[in-house]
Amino acid sequence: MRWTRRSRRLVTAALSAGLITLGLLPATVGTAAARPAAEATNLALNKPIEASSSTQNYIATNANDGSTNSYWESSGHPSTLTVKLGSDADVESVGVSLNPDAAWSTRTQSIEVLGREQSAEGFTSLKARADYSFNPSGNRNAVTIPVHGRYADVQLKIFSNSAGYGAQVAEFQVNGAPAPNPDLTVSHLTWDPAAPSESDEITVDATVRNTGSAAAAATTADVSLGGTVAGSASVPALGVGESATVKVGIGKRAQGRYAVSAVVDPDDTVDEENEDNNSRTAETELTVGQSPGPDLQVTGITTNPANPAVGAKVAFTANVHNRGTSAVSAGSVTRLTVGGATLNGTTPAIAAGATAVVDIAGSWTATSGGATLTATADATDVVDETNENNNVFARSMVIGRGAAVPYVEYEAEDAKYEGTLLETDAERTFGHTDFATESSGRKSVRLNSTGQYVEFTSTTAANSIVVRNSLPDAPGGGGQEKTLSLYADGKFVQKLILSSKHSWLYGTTDQPEGLTNTPGGDARRLFDESHALLEQSYPEGTKFRLQRDAGDDAAFYIVDLIDLEQVAPAASKPAECTSITEYGAIPNDGIDDTKAIQEAVTADQDGDIDCVWIPAGQWRQEQKILTDDPLDRGMYNQVGIRDVTIRGAGMWHSQLYTLTPPHEAGGINHPHEGNFGFDIDDNTKISDIAIFGSGTIRGDNGTQEGGVGLNGRFGKDTKISNVWIEHANVAAWVGRDYTNIPELWGPADGLEFSGMRIRNTYADGVNFSNGSRKSTVFNSSFRNTGDDALAVWANKYVKDTSVDVGHDNAFRNNTVQLPWRANGIAVYGGYGNKIENNLVYDTMNYPGIMLATDHDPLPFSGQTLIANNGLYRTGGAFWNEDQEFGAITLFSQGQDIPGVTIRDTEIHDSTYDGIQFKTGGGTVPDVKITDVKISRSNNGSGILAMSGARGSATLCGVEISDSRDGDILTEPGSQFVINDGCTGAAGSVTDKRRGQ
């Protein structure tokens, strides 16, 4: 029979049901065998394996899982399948097997075998390309290819398959024995003093042993406390069986308990027999006692007024706590800095364990957008404290519009540069490989040759950098990594790693699932971001230069903007939390930590611990964290976590990441939701971490989506704060359909997002769906989202459509930049939803703010408020460039949109209209527009009522200027009426109306 995709699925299903039973093949079987398989061991079993391409769910890990019931298939020819043994092995043969069932008819595959030694850069050919027959009745669909030599990585390169499919491998075996290599382990950990106090310098003694079969070169060892590296030391060269004890100074530590771990050869400079046994965690914790004496801490800052307006005088008090064992005399200085102001207060005497409220002298004039308040106890260092490193406290203050972000953003076009300035066209054409349209401010700088640069002068201190940039795609797609050189005041700092792996989507369609990663023709989503935490802090006035040096060899670099930020040190573990390191997680080792994270979360959910702590470090996560479904309902587990608290050391410090694209993750959770982040059902707190996905595409008919960082029902009492999410399909999708698991129905109620940093998604930033109510996104920033950065979708997939309506949700004080597909902020149905105090910049094609009844929502009712927002360079053309959208667009596609108020808003430099009432089947009755300023509608009107629009608007205090098509335009045939609502005033619009 011919083996079709359908018959493969039927056999797979039969295998799963136990209707067909197939035994595993021996290590080597086949007509090409050169020696018996029993003489060698299959070294490839369950080792890291990767493929140049895959199709459907036939992924690379199927090819070395020990079962011929699963298999890998490529999406084309030629293709490669590479297994990484970890270190050199003496290889005797390679086995390639397919399922031996007769349903897999005879086929011939043309295969070359290649290998790479552990110290080599590239592969060499071990067995020239040859044709191998796979015959279920002859060689049981398995061949053995003799190869000899010492290699760490072995690769199959498959050029053709006579069956008409891509390359197919059910089992890839590498038969041989490990070559002699060292093997470094940490055999013992102690510290001195054994029971230190906060005033003691602590030294950790780590005993390193070479248990391997060859001598080990000199290397290093790192010691970590709670998962954060605290110190390093050199490890001498060790012969076979030799040991050495190295002393690692970790300095003074605050009172508390610390899990102590050590890892030898953290940078993998020594090739070892086993790279997975280099670390050790001490059986007991390091306990640091409190030293006698005073210790001052700022525990809070209060402002008066609590919520000041722009221009208001603000006064401050600070709460100063003495956590020490002895009193502090009066007279020390408590200092507060905000903006450019430095204010001081005199601290009274404070008894041991007591707290004093310190009045800060002077005041500060509030500025729009907010600021960071930083207070320091004992700022002049007159008190001899037991801990001098815990005196500083900081918090953000939001004022006016937008988020109070902790970084300062610098535009490349405003900097000093040598390169080519890119500027968009008048219509800001999108989707046609137009870099300037996709740039912040619609301008960026291109560096074409060595020596070209962009130079920024910092206005605040900074120890981190984010670069929004564009690099060329790799010729065959998939992106590439290149370096760009960073200088500070003329001195080289480091090479920044830039990547185009997550950018470059191709195709002429505006349907996101139709875009591909395969190069050809028009492209969009051209930019991505790279970030680095620098080794030191640089003061205000530093000249940071991004320069193309020798070795920075991309065909071009486009620099759009940079963010400079003074990142606070990693936070310490709270006493009530338990670290994921206690469950086996190891930072920065590149090994999947999912099991440890899941076990810690489950322990918290079960009440065994009070809080999950994710220490500073890079933590690999290849499965979504959720709750094991005891009923095993459906193909995918979609039961979220509940009653859990997860805390990290800061979004720059505690970072989860995945390397596997969701569609290649082997069916872990639902492919749409991905293999990273958290599935949340109820009462969950997550703060101060980062979640970095690995998606590279929005769709491909739903089979290759980029995953969701946070998803689930969310329920009540869930709060997410200070979380950075990047390279996901959706950062946070709030809600599940009622029919999913009816007994778990629990829409978001009172959900709070704050301090979020959402970057470079393929679809939404945060979407409140499925009856979400009374939920808020506050003081958060969004950049380069695919679909809406922020949305309420009052959809119908709920328990009771009369009750479970998306309502009373609010988007307040957020900054949205550069959505590359769809809106800055959108509301689809519901009531009582509010869009307030936000800033929206540079939408590619859709409105800055949109109210609409497409997506078939539950009806609008009550009031929808759009107030005190700023929209700059928003709107655009989409859907084959046939539809032009305004900065604010109201689109009643089928249902009415009643109860809309738009007030206290600035709309500037719109691509088309300022406010647009779009043609639709419903009406938009009695819109109230007050105190709105609209300037420079480049290719449209200040206010436009399209020919098919129906409804009315009342205007008062509206200023319109510099609109190409006039201030107010009502197209012929429109049934939309615009009224003057300023009774007794000069008029609702300062300029003459046109087109009525």
φ, ψ for residue 412 (rounded to 5)? -60, -40
Tell me the one-letter amino acid at 400: G
DSSP for 625-660?
Answer: B----TT--SSS----EEEEEEEES-TTTEEEE--S
- The C-alpha R_g of the chain, in whole angstroms, comes to 31
Q: Is 94 helix (H, G, I), strand (E, B) or coil?
A: strand
Q: What would the pLDDT profile of 173-196 be if each residue is shown by its tens digit? A: 999 998 999 999 999 999 999 999
**pLDDT tens string 239-259:** 999 999 999 999 988 888 888
Q: Which two tokens stand for residue 528?
A: 């991505």
Cα–Cα distances in angstroms (integers) from residue 212 to residues 58, 117, 278, 778, in the given order = 37, 18, 12, 55
Report helix, strand and coil shares of the chain as percent, to nearest 5: 5, 45, 50
User: Is residue 23 scored above 70 in pLDDT?
Assistant: no
β-pair partners for 203: 192, 249
**Other C-beta atoms lying within 10 Å of the C-beta of residue 560:** 27
Token pair of 131 as six digits: 């044709």
Predicted confidence (pLDDT) at residue 786 exceeds the cutoff of 80: yes
Torsion, Cα 735 740 744 750, to 10 degrees, reads: 10
Q: Residue 199 carries which side chain, given as an amino acid letter?
A: S
Assigned token pair, 954: 């009342």
Q: How far is CA 546 from the centre of its chain?
A: 24
Residue 979: the pLDDT is 94
- Residue 604's pLDDT is what? 97
Nearest Cα residue to 823 out of 835, 806, 807, 809: 835
Nearest-CA neighbor of 493 among 472, 528, 462? 462
Q: Residues 281-293, buried b or exposed e (16+ Cβ, 10 A)?
A: bbeeebebebbeb
Predicted pLDDT at 925: 97
Is 223 a residue whose pLDDT tops 70? yes
The token pair that represents 970 in the structure block: 């009502």
CA distance 560 to 648: 31
Residues 367 and 249: their CA atoms lie apart, in Å, by 45
User: Distance (Å, rounded) from C-alpha 197 to C-alpha 200?
Assistant: 6
**Which helix (H) or strand (E) is 417 found in, with range?**
strand 416-418
Q: How is residue 552 written in tokens?
A: 């920075």
Pairing of strands 730-734, 678-692: unpaired
- The DSSP secondary structure of 929-976, one letter per residue, reads EEEEEEEEETTS-SEEE-TT-EEEEEEESBEEE--TT-SEEE-TT-EE
Interatomic CA distance for residues 931 and 872, integer angstroms: 17
Percent of the chain with pLDDT over 90: 79
User: Side chain identity at 558, as an amino acid letter?
Assistant: I
CA distance 792 to 862: 15
Asked if pLDDT for residue 988 goes beyond 60, the answer is: no
Structure tokens that stand for 706 in this block? 């980029």
As a whole number, the mean pLDDT across the chain is 90
Position 589 pLDDT exceeds 70: yes
Q: Please tell me the number of Cα atoms within 13 Å of 64 on its side-chain side.
A: 26
pTM score of the predicted model: 0.73
Angle CA 58–64–65, to nearest 5: 85
Tell me the per-residue pLDDT of 529-581, one tens digit each, with 9 for 90 and over: 999 999 899 999 999 999 999 999 999 999 999 999 999 889 999 999 999 99
Q: Given pLDDT bands bounded at 50, 70 and 90, which one contains residue 39?
A: low
The one-letter amino acid at 675:
N
Burial class (CB in 10 A: 0-12, 13-18, 19+), 311: exposed
| Phi, psi (degrees; rounded to nearest 5) at 11 | -65, -40
